[in-house]
Amino acid sequence: MANASMMPASILLAPNLSPAAKIIWACHRPEESSAPSTNTLVGRSSLTPATVRRALAELSGGDWLASRSQISGNAVQPHVTMPIGLLADTDLDLQAKLLYGAARKLALTGWLDLSQENRASPIEFTLGDPVAERWGIMIAQMGERLHGL
């Protein structure tokens, strides 16, 4: 998908990666045959060259970049889609960009319900609890079985 980057939840939630490293990871494109230059990553991320270099060093140290195509190509691994425009938006700080990814992940796993009537209407958020929902379903099924005895 040319307009978005697929970021695995494992990267988004990695406690040992800085927000800048996560954004730079998302700015790499798996279809590229070689690693993008620092200047290219500056343009894609709106980070300073020094921050991009630190993030690249951090990612290289943990072998995160070497496994990028392998991780991003794994359709089974939970992931979120980060729009390329979001990554390059200079009006947003790193935490806001990552919050978008976290909100998407929460929505995908049932912890957050996002609804919008149409593109012009506001987005409504409802907090969910998929664990409690699963327990409720299991309890209801057990009740039905007990009543059938």
Instruction: Return the bridge partners of 5, or none.
Output: 82
Q: What angle do CA 26, 32, 37 make, to 5 degrees?
A: 70
| Chain-centre distance for alpha carbon 34 | 23
Digit-coded pLDDT (tens) for 40-83: 999 999 999 999 999 999 988 877 876 555 554 555 567 778 88
How many angstroms separate the Cα of 140 from the Cα of each of 8, 135, 146?
34, 9, 10
Q: Give per-residue pLDDT as tens, 103-142.
A: 888 888 888 888 888 878 887 878 888 788 888 899 999 9
What does each C-alpha distance from 69 to 9, 20, 35, 77, 95 come to in angstroms? 15, 19, 11, 13, 24
pTM of the full predicted structure?
0.67
